[in-house]
């Protein structure tokens, strides 16, 4: 890590320009697009997961704050900078809910998760840190939540929408079905997005390909967030773009 950089300690909410993200290495077009924006990639791949999820970063690590929590092993050859690293005690596997042990989302002082599927070590850490735990029915929580800021999110999941309204100032519910996911009927909005700066949100494809694109554009405008469409293709769920490092100034 360069002296001009620092780790992002408030997960999913960079304050400055992002310079390094975690992303599935198999998504070559997205990787190239981010590299063209001077963003380094920590590429992830996991053969414990089914093929359509094997490159999903949000299934393989959970950014908690100063630390990153991994699946059964820390990826070989990766330097995770100044982060502390931990490994969950459970064994990640290809069957739900064993595939989504790390698929939860921290937004400031809140953790959204399915308490029945998330790793018990994450729940313990959240409780010890005094986070408000928002328990939802959806196991693929990070996949299903697009973070705008600490008080506003977009989701395509009804259970998250109903619960989040009690904890966030603004929660936009959009319809399912407009986001691609390899071999599956559809993917999720969280898995197709990630912040690249305080007011820049990356979309892995064109927003207009979504049925509710007008609603998405409206909420982005409301919070002065610039959409950065990484690809000139329909939106695709690639397991999130997870910001890890940002510029100091």
Closest of 63, 80, 81, 29 to residue 230, by C-alpha: 29
pLDDT along the chain (249 residues), means of 10: 90 98 97 98 93 96 95 69 88 93 98 98 97 97 98 97 96 97 94 98 98 98 98 98 95
**Each residue's pLDDT tens digit, 172-214:** 999 999 999 998 999 999 999 999 999 999 999 999 999 999 9
- Number of structural domains found in the chain: 1
Query: Which CATH number goes with the domain that contains 95?
Result: 3.75.10.10
- How many residues belong to the chain? 249
Q: What is the pTM of this model?
A: 0.96
What does the block give as tokens for 9?
A: 């300690």
The angle at the Cα of 196, spanning 53 to 23, to the nearest 5 degrees, equals: 20
Structural domain boundaries enclosing 164: 5-247
Location of structure tokens 């197709």: 192
C-alpha span between 171 and 104 (Å, rounded): 17
């Amino acid at each position: 890590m360069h002296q001009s950089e620092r780790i992002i300690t408030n997960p999913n909410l960079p304050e400055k320009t992002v310079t390094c993200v975690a992303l599935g290495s198999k998504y070559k077009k997205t990787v190239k697009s981010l590299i063209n924006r001077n963003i380094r990639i920590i590429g992830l791949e996991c053969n414990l997961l089914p093929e359509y999820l094997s490159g999903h970063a949000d299934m393989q690590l959970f950014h908690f704050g100063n630390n990153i929590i991994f699946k059964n092993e820390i990826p070989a050859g990766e330097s995770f900078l100044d982060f502390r690293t931990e490994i969950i005690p459970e064994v990640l596997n290809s069957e739900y809910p064993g595939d989504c042990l790390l698929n939860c989302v921290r937004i400031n002082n809140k953790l959204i998760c399915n308490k029945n599927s998330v790793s018990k070590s994450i729940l313990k850490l959240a409780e010890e840190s005094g986070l408000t735990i928002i328990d939802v029915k959806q196991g693929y929580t990070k996949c299903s939540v697009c973070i705008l800021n600490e008080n506003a999110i977009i989701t395509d999941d009804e259970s998250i929408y109903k619960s989040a309204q009690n904890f966030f100032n603004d929660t936009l519910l959009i319809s399912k079905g407009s986001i691609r996911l390899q071999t599956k009927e559809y993917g999720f909005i969280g898995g197709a997005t990630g912040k690249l700066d305080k007011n820049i949100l990356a979309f892995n494809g064109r927003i207009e390909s979504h049925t509710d694109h007008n609603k998405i554009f409206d909420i982005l405008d409301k919070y002065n967030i610039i959409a950065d469409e990484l690809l000139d293709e329909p939106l695709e769920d690639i397991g999130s773009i997870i910001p890890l490092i940002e510029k100091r100034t």
